[in-house]
Structure 1
Amino acid sequence: MGRGTFKYETTIDAPLSEVWDFFKSAENLTVITSFPRIKLHSDSSTIEGNHIEMELNFGVVQKKWTAKILEVKEEEYFIDKGVKIPFPFIEWEHRHQFDSDGSRTKMTDIVNYQASIPNLFVTLVLRQMFSGRKKVLVKKFTSK
């Protein structure tokens, strides 16, 4: 029903190497994502070929999500693709782009998706999720 590209930018007050180190482990998704709550059930390494298995907790409903790390370019980007993804998504590919901006890092999330609900609803959900992550990241790296 819906197919699109969602883009979200976050500026983090920390050097690229520090931000990259944080994102080298999918375990940190559990730190930065407040909804849905995430529990990892696999190796959390952000390395090419790794399958990241997660359980998403929506309160009364839990859903499984498996993503494969397709490509990693150290301190530049990594791409994950949904292998087993829950409703409403049919396809999911997420590029995590990192760019140095002096002593700060610009992180750009680009999600290409297909969903069984209209784009408007997908955009609202993704904007809420990524803005929640942004708040946690800004707070985490500012408090150092």
Structure 2
Amino acid sequence: MQLHIRTLVKQDYLSVFDAFDERLFRKLSPPYPRLKLLRFDGSYPGDVVEVELQAGFKSYRWTSLITERVVTDTEAYFVDEGLEVPSPLRRWRHKHLVAKEGAGAVIHDIIEYSTGSKTLDLLLYPLMLVQFGSRKPVYKKMFN
């Protein structure tokens, strides 16, 4: 299943892309489930980001590996892929793309995920849309 969320911001694409650091990661964390950041190496290939999702009395580990990073004259992106993802997820790939748009930029969150069940993927889609859609106001506040 793929989810693609676009957010138009007023800052130039390289300034926005360069701001994808631990501080922004913490600001983008959803209110639920709560995230406890265990490790944040950065956004270069080989870097690892590890969090603990805290949902009530239960917690889940989520570990992602940065597998790609590209910067061109018109766009910049990095990709994180899940090494350890919470059930029911089996596969996770998130491309953080920032593209030039006039004097500003468009931030693209392109998420591919799979539970192994098309039905469950579809049922999770609205939740994913809400979770990642909640990033839009944070992006706008940070980059407008």
Q: With structure 1 as the length reference, what TM-score do the two structures score? A: 0.85
- Write the mapping of 1:53-68 to structure 2, written as runs, cut at 5 A: 53-68=50-65
User: Percent identical across equivalent pairs?
Assistant: 28
Distance (Å, rounded) in 2 between the aligned partners of 1:44 and 1:103: 30
Paired residue secondary structure (1:124): helix
Question: Equivalent of 1:126, from 125, 128, 143?
Answer: 128
Unaligned ranges ≥5, structure 2:
none
Further displaced range: 85-94 or 54-63:
54-63
RMSD: 1.8
Question: Equivalent of 1:141, from 119, 130, 143?
Answer: 143
Paired residue secondary structure (1:10): strand
User: Which stretches of structure 1, 4 residues or more, deviate above 6 A after TM superposition?
Assistant: none
- Write the mapping of 1:47-126 to structure 2, written as runs, cut at 5 A: 47-74=44-71, 76-115=76-115, 118-126=120-128
Distance (Å, rounded) in 1 between the aligned partners of 2:54 and 2:103: 35
- CA deviations on 1:3-45 (whole Å, 9 max, x unpaired) are x11111111221112211111x244222112233222212331
In the superposition, relative to structure 1, how do residues 62 and 49 fare at CA in structure 2: closer, same or farther (>3 Å)?
same
Pairwise CA distance, 1:120: 2.5
Paired residue secondary structure (1:87): coil
**Kept in 1: contact 2:82–2:93 (CA 8 A):** yes
Q: With structure 2 as the length reference, what TM-score do the two structures score? A: 0.85
Paired residue secondary structure (2:39): coil
Unaligned ranges ≥5, structure 1:
none
Question: Equivalent of 1:31, from 16, 27, 30?
Answer: 27
- CA deviations on 1:90-114 (whole Å, 9 max, x unpaired) are 1011111110112211111211211
**Number of residue pairs aligned between Structure 1 and Structure 2:** 138
Distance (Å, rounded) in 2 between the aligned partners of 1:44 and 1:83: 15
